[in-house]
Amino acid sequence: MGRAIAEAAGAEGSDAEKLARKPLRAPLLLAIVVSPRPSAKVPDWEQEAVASGVAHALSLLLDEAGWGVMWRTGHYTRTEPVHRAHGLEAEERLLGWLYVGSKPAKKSGKRKPVPAKKHLTSL
């Protein structure tokens, strides 16, 4: 996978090697792919949204099971070299990757509260 990212970036030499190592940072890398099907009832965007929701639910389940999980996308997610490296069909799209590994040591202290009124509105 890393080589495909390096190819998509047009990187060479040490830059290519650096990019090629990035997917190896986690012991498990899960590719999240949507395989849309023609449907009069469920448009493409909704099928993609559902696949993203499944990936999010999977990340929550993995976290609950004690794994560290991080969602990653980037400039190269939908490039031809990465598409080819995953062996995707023409209509399939890579949404991103879940990097799965151990959780970092817990940080001490408390998180700052989130000011809900700043982010939510009502009708």
The β-bridge partners of 97 are 31, 72
Task: With H, G, I as helix, E, B as strand and everything else as coil, classify residue 63.
Answer: helix
pLDDT digits (tens, 9 = 90+) for 7-32: 777 878 887 888 787 878 899 999 99
Mean pLDDT of 66-78: 91
Query: If we measure between CA atoms, which residue out of 12, 40, 36 comes closest to residue 95?
Result: 36
Q: What is d(CA 95, CA 77) in angstroms, rounded to the nearest whole number?
A: 7
pLDDT digits (tens, 9 = 90+) for 83-92: 999 999 999 9
Dihedral pair phi/psi, residue 29, rounded to 5°: -125, 115
The domains found in the chain, sorted by start residue, are: 26-103 (3.40.109.10)
pLDDT digits (tens, 9 = 90+) for 29-54: 999 999 999 999 999 999 999 999 99
Contact 91, 17 (CB under 8 A): no
